[in-house]
Chain A
Amino acid sequence: MANEFVKKVAEEKYKFGFTTDIDTEIIDKGLSEDVIRLISSKKNEPDWLLEFRLKSFNFWKEQTSPSWGHLTLPDIDYQDISYYADPTKKKQGSETKEIDPELMKTFDKLGIPLEERMALSGMAVDAVMDSVSVKTTFKEKLAEKNIIFCSISEAVRNHPDLVRKYLGSVVPYRDNYFAALNSAVFSDGSFVYIPANTRCPMELSTYFRINARNTGQFERTLIVCESNSYVSYLEGCTAPMRDENQLHAAIVEIVVMDNAEVKYSTVQNWYPGDENGKGGVLNLVTKRGRLIGHHSKLSWTQVETGSAITWKYPSCVLEGDDSQAEFYSVAVTNNHQQADTGTKMIHLGKRTKSTIISKGISAGRSENSYRGLVKIGKHADGARNYSSCDSLLLGSKCGAHTFPYMDIQNNTATVEHEATTSKISEDQLLYCRQRGINTEDAVGLIVNGYAKEVLNKLPMEFAVEAQKLLSVSLEGSVG
C-alpha cells in the first residue's frame, strides 16, 4: 500500500516520467570520428554534411566546457553516452514504414495524437523520439501552400539546397562548446520553410521525447520564414524519470526576412530529477534568430519548468532596419534544479526594438539566474530596448539572481532595464487563504498571476498546459 502511494505521488509530480518499452536501435556508447561517420551513413547524408559534422567535431575537441554560468555542471563523460537511438527500426532490414503501435501509444499518452483525425485543431506535429522523427502530421496539407514542414533528416534528402544554405548560418559550429557538439552529432529535429507571402494556416509543433537509456538528444531545428510571411511554432519536451542525467544539447536556428514574423514558443518540461537532485535532463541549448529583413519580427516565449540544469539563451540578432524582437520567459526551479537562462538582443539595424520580460521563480534548494545581454551597435540609430526581470523566492534555501549586461555604442539609443527580487506576498497569501484557498493552491494562483504577462503570449493549448505545469512544479515548495 505504502509503496503504491509513494509511486502515485511521484507520478503526479512528473506525470510524463514513464518509459516506453520498445525495441530501439542504439549504437554503442562513445564519441569519435567513426561514430560521426556512422550516424551520417545511417541517415544517408551527402558528403558536405559529413564534412560539416567532422569540422564541428574537430573544433569541439579543442574546446572546454563553459564555466561562466551560475551553475554546477556535473562532469559529463562524453564517451559514456550513445549518440544515436532509433525507436522506429523494429528489426534490422525491415523496410516497412508503419509506425509501431507502442510509439503511437506513447505520444497519445503525452497528449500528442499522431493520427490526423484525432489531432488538435489547427496544429501540425512533428514527433521526435530520441534521435529520430517518428511522424510529421499534415505534411500534405501544408504542401498545398508550398510550406515545408518535415524532419531535418528528410529535409537534407529532399531540400538539400535550402538546408545547405541556412544550416549553421545563424549558429555557426564555432559558436560555443555545446553548439559544436550538436553540429557534430545532431540527429533529428524539424525543418520549416515558409515561402514568401504566405501565412502558415496552422500552428506547427515539434514534440521531443527522450526515451532510451544512456542516450543524448541532439536535435536541430531550422526555421526559414521568407518575406511577408508568418509562422507560429511550438516546441514541447518530456523525458522519463531515470536516475542518471540525460544530455540534451540542441540548436534552433531561425531566419526571418523582410516584413516576416516568427513566433517560437517552448514549454520545456524535461525530467527535472528527483527531490534529492538525482537524475534529470541537462538542457544545454543554443537558440538564435537572425532578423535579416527590414520590419521583421521574432518572438521567443518560453516556459521552463523541467530539466536538472537549464543553460539556454534564445537570442535575436536584429540586422534589418525597424526589426522587432521579443523575449518572454518564465523559469521555475524547485528542489535541486539549476537554471541559468535569458537572452541576447544584438541591435545592428536602425530603429530596432526589443523587449525582454523575464520572470524567475525559485523554490526548494534551486538556483535560478537570469542572464542577458543587450548590445546596441554603432549604427543602430534610434534603437530601443526595455527589459524587466523579476524574481520570486519561495523559501529560504533557494537562490535568485539577475545578471544583465548592457553595451551601448550609439547615442540615439534608449536602453532601460529594471529588476526586482522579492518573496511571495504574505498579504496575498493571507487574502487567498481567508477566502478558503489552501496554501498550495494559493501559491499556484499567485505564481500564475505573476507569470501571466508571459503565459498570455502562448497559444491557447499551451497556455493551459503551462499554467498547470507551474502549479505542479511548485508542489510542496511552501508550507
Chain B
Amino acid sequence: MSEQQYIDFYTQCRNLIMSKSCGVMNDVREKAFKRFKTVGFPSRKSERYKYTDVDKAFQTDFGILFTPLGITPSAYIFSLKDAPADVRPYYNRLADQHDGITLLNTMLAHECLLIYVPADTKVEKPLTVDNWIKGEVPSMMNRRILVVMEKGADATIIVNDHATDKQEFLTTQVIEVYCHDNAHLDLYEIEETTPLTKRFSNVYIHQQPYASVRHSVITLHNGLTRNLCDVILNGEFSETTLNGCAIGSGKQHIDNNTLIRHNAAHCTSNELYKYVVDDQAVGAFAGKILVEKGAQQTSSQETNNNLCASPSARMYSQPMLEIYADDVKCSHGSTTGVLDETALFYMRQRGIAEEEARMLLKNAFLGQVIDQIDYEPLRSKIFVKVEKRFLGEMEKCKTCNLCK
C-alpha cells in the first residue's frame, strides 16, 4: 500500500511543513493526517474511484516540492497567510473529509492561494493561475486554492496546468469555492501536461441563492488525470454548469467524476462532458445528480458523449440520477460511438479527404463544449489547440511558453 510512504514522510517532516505554512492550515493538518492514516487511498472498490487506480499512481517515490507561491500583484489574489481574519475560516470547510486525496492534500499543502472577490464587484479581466511543475527527479506538488465570491461578485478564473516532459510528476489539487448570493463565477481548468504527469484534482463548490457557477475542465494533453467536482446547491434559484472536454491518445487516462447535490428548490444544473479517445487511451465519466427531499422544481440535464477512435481505446460512462423529490425534471443521456458515416460520406462527396473530414467532425464534436466558453480569447485559443492536438502537433507541451 503506497500510503505508508506518505505517512512516514509526514511523520518525519511535519515540523518542516508547519514552519513553511500558516496557522489556519496547520490547525487542520494533524486531524487530516489522523483521518488519512485510517482511510488511506481510495481503492477501486469504492464507487467513486472505480476507474482509476490511485494506489498505483502514488507508488513512485516522489520528492515533495514546497515551491513558494509566485503571486503577481492583484487586488483579488492573495496567499491565505495574508488574508483578512474573517476569510481564513473558509479554509477546509467544504473539502470532503472522507476522501483520501483531499486529506493527503490537506496534510501536505503548505500554501494556499486565495482568490477573494468583494461584494458587488465585477472583475473585468480573467484572473489567471498558472501552475507549472519542473524538476530533475520525480516530484509531487500539493496545490490548494480557495475562492470566496461575496454577494453579487462576478469573476472569471483560469487555472492552467503545465509540466515539463523530462520527469514523472504528480500533483494533488484541492479547490474550494464559496459563492454567496447572486455571485457569478466562471472557472476554467486547462491541462496541457505530459504522459509522465499524474493529476488528482478535487473541486468543491458551494452555492447560495441565485449564485451561478460554470466550471469547465479541459484536458488537452496529459498522463493520468482524475478530476472530481462536487457541487452543493444550497440556495434556491442557483445554477450550475459543469462542462468537460477530453482528448486522449497513447496511454492517456482521463477520469472525470462529478456530483451535483440539489439541496434547495428551483435550482438548475447542466452537465456536458465530451471525450475523444484514441490509441490505448482510457476515458471515464461518472456523474451523479442527487436531488434531495424538498428540492422541488429542480431542473437538471446531464449529457456525456464519447467517440472511440481506435480498437484499443476504452470508455466508461456512468451517468446517474438519485432523486428524492417528485416535482422535478431530470434527465441524462450518454452515447458512445463512432463518427457519423453519413456525414463523412457527404463531406467526401464534396471532395474533402477522409482524414480531414474526420478531423473536422472530431473538432465539431468537441466544439459543442468549447462553444460554451464565454471568454472569447480563451475560446479561440482552445479551438486552435484542439485542432493542433488532432493534427498531432501537440505531442508535448512544447506549445506553451511557460515550459520553454
Contacts and interface: CB of A to CB of B under 8 A. Distances in A.
B332 A419 contact: yes
B337 A401 contact: no
Interface in A372-399: 378, 391, 393-399
B217 interface: no
A414 B323 contact: no
A423 B327 contact: yes
Given A404-B320, A405-B318, A410-B311, A394 B334 contact: no
A367 B322 CA distance: 10
B123 interface: no
A407 interface: yes
B334 A415 contact: yes
A413 to B, nearest CB: 7
B333 A419 contact: yes
Contacts of B336: 406, 408, 413-415
A127 interface: no
B320 A416 contact: no
Interface in A169-205: none
Nearest to A395: B326
A410 B319 contact: no
B264 to A, nearest CB: 15
If over half of B's interface residues share one DSSP class (helix, strand or loop), that class is named, otherwise mixed; here it is strand
B259 interface: no
Interface in B38-65: 47
A436 to B, nearest CB: 26
A414 B338 contact: yes
Interface in B293-316: 293-294, 296, 306, 308-316
A415 B335 contact: yes
A411 B311 contact: yes
B51 to A, nearest CB: 9
Interface residues of B, number: 36
Contacts of A410: 308, 311
Given A397-B293, A422-B328, A408 B308 contact: yes
Nearest to B324: A399
A419 B326 contact: no
Given A406-B334, A422-B328, A396 B296 contact: yes
Nearest to B278: A411
A411 B329 contact: no
A391 B330 CA distance: 10
A165 to B, nearest CB: 35
B317 interface: yes
A396 B338 contact: no
Contacts of B337: 413-416
A406 B308 CA distance: 13
Interface string A432-454: 00000000000000000000000
A391 B323 contact: yes
Nearest to A394: B326
Contact of A421 (B294, B314, B330, B335): B330
A164 to B, nearest CB: 36
A414 B337 CA distance: 4
A393 B326 contact: yes
A411 B326 contact: no
**Interface residue tally on A, bucketed by range:** 35 or more
Given A406-B334, A417-B335, A422 B320 contact: no
Contact of B320 (A395, A402, A418): A402
Interface string B325-350: 11111111111111000000000000
A129 B227 CA distance: 54
Contacts of B321: 391, 400-402, 419, 421
A68 B47 CA distance: 9
Contact of A423 (B326, B332, B333): B326
A355 interface: no
A411 B334 CA distance: 15
Contacts of B320: 401-404
Contacts of B47: 68
A420 interface: yes
Given A406-B318, A408-B317, A417-B335, A393 B328 contact: yes
A456 interface: no
Contacts of A416: 333-335, 337
A412 interface: yes
A409 interface: yes
Interface string B271-305: 00000000000000000000001101000000000
A394 B325 CA distance: 10
Contacts of B311: 378, 410-412
Contacts of B329: 420-422
Nearest to B315: A408
Contacts of B334: 404, 406, 415-418
Contacts of B315: 406-408
Interface in A282-310: none
A423 B317 contact: no
A398 B47 CA distance: 23
B328 A421 contact: yes
Nearest to B313: A411
B313 A421 contact: no
A404 B335 CA distance: 12
A398 B327 CA distance: 11
Contacts of B338: 411-412, 414
Contacts of B333: 416-419
B319 to A, nearest CB: 7
A404 B322 contact: no
B318 A408 contact: no
Given A411-B338, A422-B328, A417 B323 contact: no
Nearest to B306: A408
Contacts of A412: 311, 338
A393 B315 CA distance: 31
B323 A400 contact: yes
Nearest to B318: A405
A461 to B, nearest CB: 34
Contacts of A415: 317, 334-337
Given A410-B308, A413-B336, 5 more contacts: A68-B47, A393-B328, A402-B319, A415-B335, A421-B328
7 contacts: A70-B322, A405-B316, A407-B314, A411-B309, A415-B337, A418-B334, A419-B333
